[in-house]
Amino acid sequence: MITKEVIEQFRVTPGKKLKLKDFDTGFTGTDEQKRLAKEKATDILDKNREHLATAQNLLYANDRHALLVIIQAMDAAGKDGTIKHVFSGINPQGCQVYSFKVPSAEELDHTFLWRHMKAVPERGRIGIFNRSYYEDVLIVKVHPELVEKSNLPPGPRDHRFWKDRYDDINAFERHLVRNGTIVLKFFLHVSKEVQKERFMERLDRPDKNWKFSLGDLKERGYWDMYQDAYEDALEATSTEVAPWYVIPADHKWVTRTAVADIIVNTIHDLELAYPKLSPEQLKALAEAKKRLEAE
């Protein structure tokens, strides 16, 4: 496992001013340190995949908690790959992934939290949000004309408007946590240079062409506005009950290992054990065994 101190570096301290520039996107160290770290990270990821499978089983057996994992990032930061690699070992029945796209007309006729409320995981399961209601304070904040598409009553779309949205999000997450859902939020922090490299790869490799979208290039033009929107959102919504983690995303192995480790550690901290049966239940099991043996 990664040490708690390293994990702590990724955590956004609630109530503190946040500058994304203070968070690494890459890995600082010599080439040799990097090679060793990568080897170690791959090992840790493999082990954590196994731990996650066990942890998920315990979550399911206990049927008291759910885990909601929210993943947000700029394009090409590795959301899809992280989900694929971190969750590949777990029972598909205990896990659900939702990828939130541009809202439909029906969704726009409801509040911005509605479609997400319907998708939160039930007790015993892990739910993954690939994008989330945070888009409503990110892309929608960068492109305020999107607010006008959402049929809201008229009113100023000023500082107060966005603050109200952060408050709604915090209240929603607090509600989930109070009712047994653990909420973990990851911002995959990629540099502008690495995003360019990954876009180039999508253009150059026929097997990756499908991943390229001109829209992504357009959004890249708003890079600084997005970084500002992320800073505001993370600062306002990293809470003790539902913290944000800023995960370096220039190296895929760093991202995947860190995300898996934080999830495993969080479930581990719940100290779940398989449910203990009562003496009556144990007696019933013994009787069932006897009946089967007598067949």
Between 102 and 217, whose beta carbon lies closer to ligand AMP?
102
CB of 285 to ligand AMP, least distance (A): 47
Q: Which is nearer to ligand AMP, 135 or 250 (CB)?
A: 135
- CA angle (184, 10, 130) in 5-degree steps: 40
Alpha helical stretches, state H, the chain: 4-10, 31-62, 79-86, 105-108, 114-117, 139-142, 145-148, 159-178, 192-204, 214-220, 223-237, 252-268, 279-294
Smallest separation, CB 58 to ligand AMP (Å)? 31
Q: What gap in Å lies between CA 248 and CA 41, rounded to an integer?
A: 13
Q: Which residue is nearest to ligand AMP (CB)?
A: 135
Of the two residues 46 and 224, which places its CB atom closer to ligand AMP in the complex?
224
User: What's the min distance (Å) between Cβ of 115 and ligand AMP?
Assistant: 9
Cβ proximity to ligand AMP, 53 vs 139, nearer residue: 139
We find the least distance from the C-beta atom of residue 253 to ligand AMP, in angstroms, to be 22
Amino acid at 103: P
C-beta of 101 vs 159, nearer to ligand AMP: 101
Q: How far is the CB of 67 from ligand AMP (least distance, A)?
A: 21
The C-alpha atoms of residue 132 and residue 77 are separated, in whole angstroms, by 16
Closest CA to 186 of 71, 269, 39: 71
| Residue ranges in contact with ligand AMP by CB under 6 A | 99-103, 131, 135-136, 139-140, 146
Determine the Cα–Cα distance for residues 75 and 139; give it in Å rounded to an integer.
12
